[in-house]
Amino acid sequence: MNSMPQCQNLQQQVETILQLLERESTLRSYDTTPVQSSLAKAISPTFEIVFAGAFSAGKSMLLNALLERELLYSAEGHATGTECYIAYAEPNQERVILTFLSEAEIREQATAACQKLGLQETTNINQPEASNLLRQGCETIIKLEGGEGKSERAKQAKALMLLLEGYTNNSDRIHTINNATYSMEQFNFSNLKEAAGYARRGSNSAVLKRIEYYCNHPLLQDGNILIDTPGIDAPVQKDAELTYRKIESPDTSAVVCVLKAASAGDMTKEETQLLEKMRSNPGIRDRVFHVFNRIDETWYNTQLRQRLDDLISSQFQ
């Protein structure tokens, strides 16, 4: 990324001003942290854009649309702890790096899901009998709820089934405690499309901790890096905390907040907390972009549209 002419001496100019502030006794108490944070982002060769939002808000769907290719797994009700990092590569250098959850992390996710679903917890997910019992319990829940996408409970049951299936199918690649990392060549993938196809499969995506995509697209060419994060209401608390850490990271230059409010006319408690967190962060609060997903659900519902308009007027103006 080439600096604009007026920014070539930006660091020196800003540091000079800060030194002058420090010399003036009446201004020494001034908090210069936001200025230093903004300076670091301005002179950085990369611009990291974090996509944040609730579980199943449509973050991955939006990223796929922006990149004009199906890179990320996108499905109703799917929630994992996967962080997806997307950066630029020349056409002949496209690649994918896959990092798996450890067996310990998968057990933790399974336990948290069992607690939410009211299923009997087990630490022996590597034993077929225990795993099959959990699958049967999930299938029963989905059937009682009327289908996979009919309720949050059904979605959580489907997510647990994908986690168990992913663990079984990739057990030879998953380490007990450590996170194993593989290049796409180690999977014998010959191109990005094949590797992305594997990573996008629901059961595989469920057991991946981090995916690094290096792909050719004009949106990424000037140093933009797109980062897809777990839902802020992810089943495992530390997965949700990963999103907040990325938002607060000094490397983060902007945040795209994807909201489900258009389909309900209101925000969830977690979405409200996310907005408050971003507004209190001086490093990004002026570089937050809000996207309302499922806006088409308001087209023929006057009451829902009015509720959404009221929400936007009260929270975003």
What pLDDT score was predicted for residue 167? Answer: 92
- pLDDT, tens only, 226-254: 999 888 876 666 777 888 888 888 788 88
Tokens linked to 128? 């077929």
**Direct distance between the N- and C-terminal alpha carbons of the chain, in angstroms, rounded to an integer:** 33
Helix, strand, or coil here: 16? helix
Classify each residue of 105-138 as buried b or exposed e, where b means 16 or more C-beta atoms within 10 Å of its C-beta: bbbbbbbbbbeebebeebeebeeeebbeebbebb
E strands within 13-113? 47-53, 83-88, 95-100
Contact 117, 137 (CB under 8 A): yes
Residue 1 pLDDT exceeds 50: no
Q: What is the pTM of this model?
A: 0.76
What is the architecture, at CATH level 2, of domain 46-101+179-315? 3-Layer(aba) Sandwich (3.40)
- pLDDT, tens only, 156-181: 888 889 899 999 999 999 999 999 99
- pLDDT, tens only, 106-145: 998 888 889 888 888 777 788 888 888 898 999 999 998 8
